[in-house]
Structure 1
Amino acid sequence: MNQQIRKSVAPAQGIQPRLDPEGLFDPRYKEFLETVSHLRVKLHRYCARMTGSALDGEDIMQEVLFEAYRKIELLDDAQALRPWLFRIAHNRCIDFIRSRRARQRAEAGYAGDEIVLPVEPAGPGAGRAIERLVVHLPPKERACVLLKDVFDHSLEEIADLVGSTSGGVKSALNRGRAKLAVLPAQPVAAPAHDAELARLLERYVELFNKRDWDGVRALTSADARLRVSDCYNGLLSSSPYFAEFERSELPWRIRPGAFEGENVLVVDRLHGEVWRPAYLVRIHADGGVIDRISDYYACPWILDMASADAG
């Protein structure tokens, strides 16, 4: 496995791979993605539950994979690949939580380090309801509960990942489990109404479904960014994004939708006579102009997670 991973980033004769993917990703980076594909669903699930958003979780996972690709020569033991990737993911999630001041919001109701009695573990494969509620815990407790009760890591492995001790992990687990035990199930909030964004998305959908690419481009800023998971990261103006839709063999349409309390676009594919959701697109606007698009066509686990949560 380790040789396979190294081979995926080792330069062929006369070819130097790009170690900071920008624009269309080169073949060597895509080969690297293939070598870690077996870990993608669990990594995404961890990032999504740590951040409280499946879409933020996917964005973070893309950054995790970029970082791992750049640093793969530091990995000497193939058996260490899984914990190594989880460690990078954990650190990225913590940075995200801090940058969004989510940590202060999450801890607002649990300011004290009160002593709590030990609670029996939920065990591997903890219920999805509990898994969703971990976002209400402080980051360390959130990570410990996820890594132990959902991903079945050992106390020693968790301590290494979160920079603690086995005793510290046990304490965090007890606190986290006790808090989760008294939290009521909470429904996903409806998206906050933003009339300007709603109008912009409706116009975007109308033009997109008409294949009016010039009209769509007119809704975007000159330096709008595009990220298509596993494929492209760069300027929208330099991408083949719209041409890919033109070349698509399956009939498609897009429509406004909502996911985890956020307004998104849903790309539907026609299967026989039935339209089915295929993937999500996230649109960010500033001053009435689209400045960032994130396309999750290569991430079926996002819709799988939504279906599991709804079940």
Structure 2
Amino acid sequence: MNQQIRNSPEMRRIEPRLDPEGLFDMRYRAFLETVSHLRVRLHRYCARMTGSALDGEDIMQEALFEAYRKIGLLDDTQALRPWLFRIAHNRCIDFIRTRRTRLKAEAGYASDEIVLPVEPAGPGAGRAIERLVVHLPPKERACVLLKDVFDHSLEEIAGLVGSTSGGVKSALNRGRAKLAALPAQPVAVPAHDPELERLLGRYVELFNARDWDGVRALTSADARLRVSDCYNGLLSDSPYFVEYDRGEPWRMRPDTIEGEAVLVVDRLHGEVWRPAYFVRIHADGGIINRIADYYACPWILEMVAADG
């Protein structure tokens, strides 16, 4: 391994020895500090690739943990950014390929027919472009995002998506033309699930009453919990509810983002309640089997607010 990276204080502190189950230890936290300048960009990329700010966060967390476990393979500190983007990109592609509903939605735009080049709309158009790229096939989606939003070079993009500069140019031309031809997109209407709605309402009621035994009764014995940067494992093995008994005043309420029912945790600032982060609940047969708590991920809230 490159001596510079081997001997740097950051890399000595983050030598991977962490079990992926349970509490994330200080070495993982140190790694996150090392890549902190990339995290918002990585999340933005994953969120736009998947079409979901929450799915994007989940994938980014998985990509960062994969990179953490493989940090010993990195020979050049200058290669950190493209290396992390490549890991995140590959995980996004895997996610897209396993989502039949997304593949079905993309089918109408998956043609490889020859089209004339369309230049990006110029500075300031990035937000509009990145919200629409979900309608493109994965390769075109990635190329348009990386070039027109993140300003990567053709050579960098080719390395990330496993193509050539010529292939990237072709994908860019196709993607830009398809974006220019897209009709106005309707506002997503949240799917109504009365059973989930009742379950989330009861969860919020018990959570706000600090009735932790009541909350546990809504979950399965093997329910999973993921708290970004903190914990990934069984809910029963976690200090989750203890942590909510500490700290500043908070309240929980149901809401929807991107057409999905979620819970919002508000924190009290003076006399004003302000949204702080989201909690995502998954259930099967009326029983909660998975909780994802996006504590300390302000970029999700910022993205949702910007899109609103």
Normalised by the length of structure 1, the TM-score is: 0.94
Superposed, which structure 2 residues align to 1:71-220 within 5 Å? 71-102=70-101, 104-123=103-122, 126-220=125-219
Q: What residue in structure 2 maps to residue 6 of structure 1?
A: 11
RMSD of aligned alpha carbons: 1.4
Q: What residue in structure 2 maps to residue 280 of structure 1?
A: 278
Task: For 1:124 and 1:296, locate their aligned partners in 2 and report how far apart those are by CA, in whole Å.
Answer: 31
**Contact 1:103–1:138 (8 Å) recurs in 2:** no
Task: For 2:272 and 2:249, locate their aligned partners in 1 and report how far apart those are by CA, in whole Å.
Answer: 11
Residue 50 of structure 1 aligns to a residue in which SS? Answer: helix
Q: What residue in structure 2 maps to residue 14 of structure 1?
A: none
Task: For 1:126 and 1:29, locate their aligned partners in 2 and report how far apart those are by CA, in whole Å.
Answer: 36
The letter of the residue matching 1:303 is: L
Task: For 2:237 and 2:271, locate their aligned partners in 1 and report how far apart those are by CA, in whole Å.
Answer: 35
Moved more, 122-131 or 181-190: 122-131
Task: For 2:67 and 2:148, locate their aligned partners in 1 and report how far apart those are by CA, in whole Å.
Answer: 26
The total of aligned residue pairs comes to 303
Moved more, 22-31 or 220-229: 22-31
Q: What residue in structure 2 maps to residue 258 of structure 1?
A: 256
Following superposition, the deviation at residue 122 of structure 1 comes to 3.6
- Which sections of structure 2, spanning at least 5 residues, go unmatched? none
The letter of the residue matching 1:120 is: E
Q: Could you list the per-position Cα deviations for residues 66-123 of structure 1 after superposition, in whole angstroms to 9, with x for gaps in the alignment?
A: 1001100111111100000000000000000011125532432124311100111345
Superposed, which structure 2 residues align to 1:219-234 within 5 Å? 219-234=218-233
Residue 133 of structure 1 aligns to a residue in which SS? Answer: helix
**Contact 1:106–1:137 (8 Å) recurs in 2:** no
Residue 108 of structure 2 aligns to a residue in which SS? Answer: coil
Residue 277 of structure 1 aligns to a residue in which SS? Answer: strand
The letter of the residue matching 2:67 is: A
Task: For 2:9 and 2:146, locate their aligned partners in 1 and report how far apart those are by CA, in whole Å.
Answer: 27
Residue 153 of structure 1 aligns to a residue in which SS? Answer: coil
- Which sections of structure 1, spanning at least 5 residues, go unmatched? 12-16
Task: For 1:99 and 1:272, locate their aligned partners in 2 and report how far apart those are by CA, in whole Å.
Answer: 45
Task: For 2:306 and 2:186, locate their aligned partners in 1 and report how far apart those are by CA, in whole Å.
Answer: 14
Moved more, 99-108 or 262-271: 99-108
Residue 267 of structure 2 aligns to a residue in which SS? Answer: strand
Change (3 A) 1:147 1:141: same
Q: What residue in structure 2 maps to residue 291 of structure 1?
A: 289
Superposed, which structure 2 residues align to 1:239-250 within 5 Å? 239-248=238-247, 250=248
Normalised by the length of structure 2, the TM-score is: 0.95
The letter of the residue matching 2:63 is: V
